[in-house]
Amino acid sequence: MDACILLTPGAPDAPLIEPLTPRETQVLELVADGLPNKSIAARLGIGSETVKFHLGSILGKLGASNRTDAVRVGSSAG
């Protein structure tokens, strides 16, 4: 599976310096489905601390301040 390339919020045509990994994309999709960290962890077979780590990375890569903002940025970028 290829890495998902998303766009930065402030620059509509500028790709991220570092794209989301396939696992980060999975986590973001489950966040968009409204799942809490524990449910995401169970669904992916990882620990909830690992989910928190992925979320921190996602927020940084997307320039998002919270989960809702990350979903908004991710979905507007495709």
Q: What is the mean pLDDT of residues 42-48?
A: 98
Q: Pick the residue with more confidence: 7 or 45?
A: 45
Count up the domains in the chain and report the number: 1
**Residue 33 belongs to domain spanning:** 22-77
58 domain residue, yes or no: yes
SS3 string, the chain, reads: CCCECCECCCCCCCECCCCECHHHHHHHHHHHCCCCHHHHHHHHCCCHHHHHHHHHHHHHHHCCCCHHHHHHHHHHHC
- pTM of the entire predicted model: 0.79
Q: What is the mean pLDDT of residues 39-62?
A: 97
Q: What is the model's pLDDT at position 59?
A: 96
Question: Under a CB-based contact definition with an 8 Å cutoff, are residues 70 and 60 in contact?
Answer: no
Q: Any idea what the CATH number is for the domain that residue 38 is in?
A: 1.10.10.10
Confidence of residue 75 (pLDDT cuts 50, 70, 90): confident
32 domain residue, yes or no: yes
16 domain residue, yes or no: no
Q: What is the model's pLDDT at position 8?
A: 47
Q: What is the mean pLDDT of residues 70-77?
A: 89
